[in-house]
Amino acid sequence: MPLTLITLRFGRDYNQPLTPSVLPGSLQKLTFGERFNQILAPGSLPHSIKFLVFGEHFTREFKAGALPTSLYFLRLNRRQEFKNIRVTKGTYSTIILDHMVEADESGGEFKSIKVSNISSRHCLCIVQHEAFSPAANQVLVLKPEGFELLKDDRCTLTVFERCSNGDYKQIVGNVNLQQGSRFKIIQYQLIHGGDKVYGATVTRQQASSPESPRPQGFNTVHINNQRYYVVKKYTESDPSSSTPVNTSGQTYLLMKDDDTKVLILCREINYSNTSSKRYKRIMSEIKVMDCLKGQGEFVDFYTYYDNKDTQTIQILEEYCDGGSLQDKIDQIERLNRREDIPHYIKEGEIWTYLTTMLNMLRIMEQNGIAHRDIKPSNLYIKGDLGIKLGGFGLATIVTRKI
């Protein structure tokens, strides 16, 4: 690049990382294209830059020292502009990510309800339909393109975000929408310089907080003196593939009634018509899961409750939204039968799965556990967090004799 270059604009599809000293020290105005979304390392931008513009897809955090002290104007997207910025090495830290939602009445422009997610967060959306049971509730992964609800005049939306530890926490609760409305999840970015906030504004917004009202319309259950909301009841004919098969009872998706609002899977097993051997097998499964509790390679176990009156056991465990590895394989096979373009699991992903499985075997061997039923339908996918081993119905703790 010319050493006297003052203005530089990258193309729409440019999305390559910048290394220090690549851009000339004379540069004053830099504009990135729509698809640029790379982390800016300290020193990658010259200290001469005064105007910096990013495209719609940029969602990265700025680390300390990434922005030049000469910066005066920053645009993160079309709606967020920050002027008169004063960046210092000591006080400037990072961009804080915050959740906002925006509900827009369209005035009858379309008959459906449109739900979309333009944040970079992995979100789930629970759709409650009026006058229906929990079995009719929908659990949908909220992707950027969103979805439209066509059949209902009215519904209630509750949105969960996947946290860094893998749990789902409620960020938006009980938004009532009618036909002709739009609902968006927006990730707003606020710049912190010392104690001063250079803010961003929106039109209509509804921010969630721990003090938000409790969910309405959900049935409730109490397990070990803790109240849970019944978000979804799964049936045998349910098209959802994100829950393990429970042939001995019911399976529910619960939301914990506390500030965390995390999603939890509940398997309710009825042992009234089973033998004592079957009951011991259920308790053995719980013992094995508790032994592996907290290990990231396994579906996490939370608690259980044995109701002697109704002869049912409720097992509360981690919720994995990606379904099983077998579901993924079946989906790829269906796509390959229907489309000419070949679909497959990438080699790097397969190696990641194999490495994780070897680590599973190592941990179980250290704890004296034999799973005895490792197969794709018992390997569950949780977003981009990899696979987790579940299905401990046949597992046992091996007693070694010396």
CB 170, CB 211: distance < 8 Å = no
Average pLDDT score over residue span 353-361: 95
Residue 225: both structure tokens together: 């003196």
Average pLDDT score over residue span 126-134: 75
CA–CA separation, 257 and 230 (whole Å): 10
**H or E element, residue 154:** strand 154-162
Average pLDDT score over residue span 328-356: 90
Strands (E), 24-90: 29-31, 51-53, 73-77, 80-82
- For residue 299, give the nearest of 260, 263, 258, 265 by alpha carbon: 265
pLDDT of residue 93: 40
- For residue 185, give the nearest of 207, 200, 201 by alpha carbon: 207
Residue 326: both structure tokens together: 């077998």
Lowest mean pLDDT among 140-144, 308-312, 318-322: 140-144
Average pLDDT score over residue span 339-367: 92
Burial class of residue 227 in the structure, from the number of CB atoms within 10 Å of its CB (0-12 exposed, 13-18 middle, 19+ buried): middle
pLDDT of residue 88: 53
pLDDT in tens, 106-124: 554 556 778 888 776 778 8
pLDDT of residue 170: 80
Give the torsion through C-alpha atoms of 52, 55, 57, 58, to 10 deg. Answer: 0
pLDDT in tens, 3-42: 889 999 999 889 998 888 889 999 999 999 988 988 888 8
pLDDT in tens, 168-205: 778 777 777 777 777 888 765 545 444 444 433 333 33
CA–CA separation, 113 and 176 (whole Å): 11
pLDDT of residue 84: 57
pLDDT of residue 83: 59
**H or E element, residue 353:** helix 347-366
Label residue 164 by pLDDT band (50, 70, 90). confident
Q: Domain 98-198 belongs to what topology?
A: Immunoglobulin-like (2.60.40)
Give the Cβ contact number of residue 4 at 10 Å: 9
Looking at the predicted structure, is the pLDDT value of residue 257 above 70?
yes
Lowest mean pLDDT among 47-51, 158-162, 252-256, 329-333: 158-162
Looking at the predicted structure, is the pLDDT value of residue 96 above 80?
no
Identify the top-confidence range among 144-153, 318-327, 354-363.
354-363
Classify residue 48 by its DSSP letter: T
CB 324, CB 380: distance < 8 Å = yes
Percentage of residues in the chain with pLDDT exceeding 90? 29
CA–CA separation, 110 and 103 (whole Å): 15
Residue 130: both structure tokens together: 């009026």
More confident residue, 181 or 78: 181
**H or E element, residue 288:** helix 276-291
Label residue 402 by pLDDT band (50, 70, 90). very low
pLDDT in tens, 199-245: 333 333 333 333 444 555 678 889 999 999 888 888 765 544 455 55
Q: What's the mean per-residue pLDDT of the chain?
A: 79
Out of 3.40.50.300, 1.10.510.10, 3.40.250.10, 1.20.1560.10, the CATH code matching 273-402 is 1.10.510.10
Q: Cβ neighbours of residue 78 under 8 Å, at least 6 residues apart?
A: 56
Give the torsion through C-alpha atoms of 129, 134, 137, 141, to 10 deg. Answer: 140
pLDDT of residue 287: 95
Residue 280: both structure tokens together: 């011991």
Q: Where are the domains of the chain?
A: 1-90, 98-198, 273-402
* β-strands 73-77, 80-82 pairing: antiparallel
pLDDT of residue 94: 42
Give the Cβ contact number of residue 288 at 10 Å: 22
Average pLDDT score over residue span 68-85: 69
